[in-house]
Amino acid sequence: MKNIVRVLRLSVLLSLISMITPIDGRAESTPPANVISKEKAQDIALKVYAGKVKESDLEFEKNAWIYSFEIIGKDKKIHEINVDALTGNIVESKIETSAMEAKEKAEGADNLIRGV
Which of 31, 48, 55 has its CA nearest to residue 90?
A: 48
Rounded Cα distance between 109 and 116, Å, is 14
| Residue 86 CB-half CA count within 13 A | 7
Contact 26, 32 (CB under 8 A): yes
Domains of the chain in sequence order: 32-114 (3.10.450.40)
Bridge-based pairing state of the strands 52-61 and 78-84: unpaired
Write the pLDDT tens digit of every residue in 17-35: 444 445 544 456 889 999 9
Which of 65, 92, 89 has its CA nearest to residue 80?
A: 92
* Reported pTM: 0.66
Task: State yes or no: pLDDT of 55 exceeds 50.
Answer: yes
Write the pLDDT tens digit of every residue in 57-106: 999 998 999 999 999 999 999 999 999 999 999 999 999 887 877 777 77
